[in-house]
Structure 1
Amino acid sequence: MFDDRFETILRSVAELPDDLVITGEQNLRNELGVDSLKLMDLIVNLEGEYSVELSDDVSADVSTVEELWLEVSRAAD
């Protein structure tokens, strides 16, 4: 579903343990503890890594890992 770069950035910014299995259905805020500041940091890091620009609404529009990955994927196309 998502690639290693995406997972590495998510783990780093969200400060997730290495043994946690990340799935697309997980809620960024409720299950992974990504607050609004971490989400903005995550977006900035993903934009830099993938050389994309995500919409200003992405922080309000996404709630799951998969939704965020789809936004990155669409922007990269």
Structure 2
Amino acid sequence: MFTQHTILENVLICLRDMVPLSEQVGPDSDLVNDLGLESVKMMDLLMKLEDEYDLSIPINILMDVRTPRQLANALVAYVEKSHGAV
């Protein structure tokens, strides 16, 4: 079963694999300004998360997301729809 906490931890794990200075990755890190994720890396992140949760995540989810915590919170609805209540 997935919880908001496990979703956040999975987002952080995926990011730490992608970011050179992975020790700087935290729940409230700015994905662009702090971690340097440009559009291609953001798409890679979404693809990793899609594989992790076996679901399709619309790209427009990124419009209102600036931190890993916000991304995890936005993913909850998609995970719930696919796997049941979080």
Q: Smaller-chain TM-score range?
A: 0.7 to 0.9
Q: Is the 8 A contact 2:50 2:57 kept in 1?
A: yes
Q: Is the 8 A contact 1:25 1:66 kept in 2?
A: yes
Matching residue of 1:11: 16
Q: Is the 8 A contact 2:65 2:71 kept in 1?
A: yes
Q: Which runs of 5+ in 1 are unaligned?
A: none
Cα distance change on mapping 1:73 and 1:15 into 2, 3 Å: farther
CA positional deviation for 1:55: 2.0
Q: Work out the percentage of aligned pairs sharing the same amino acid.
A: 27
Greater gyration radius: 2
Q: Distance in 1 between matches of 2:48 and 2:20?
A: 14
Q: Which runs of 5+ in 2 are unaligned?
A: 81-86
Matching residue of 1:45: 48
| TM-score of the two chains, using structure 1 as the length reference | 0.78
More helix, by proportion = 2
Match of 2:70 among 63, 67, 70: 67
Match of 1:27 among 25, 30, 34: 30
The number of equivalent residue pairs is: 74
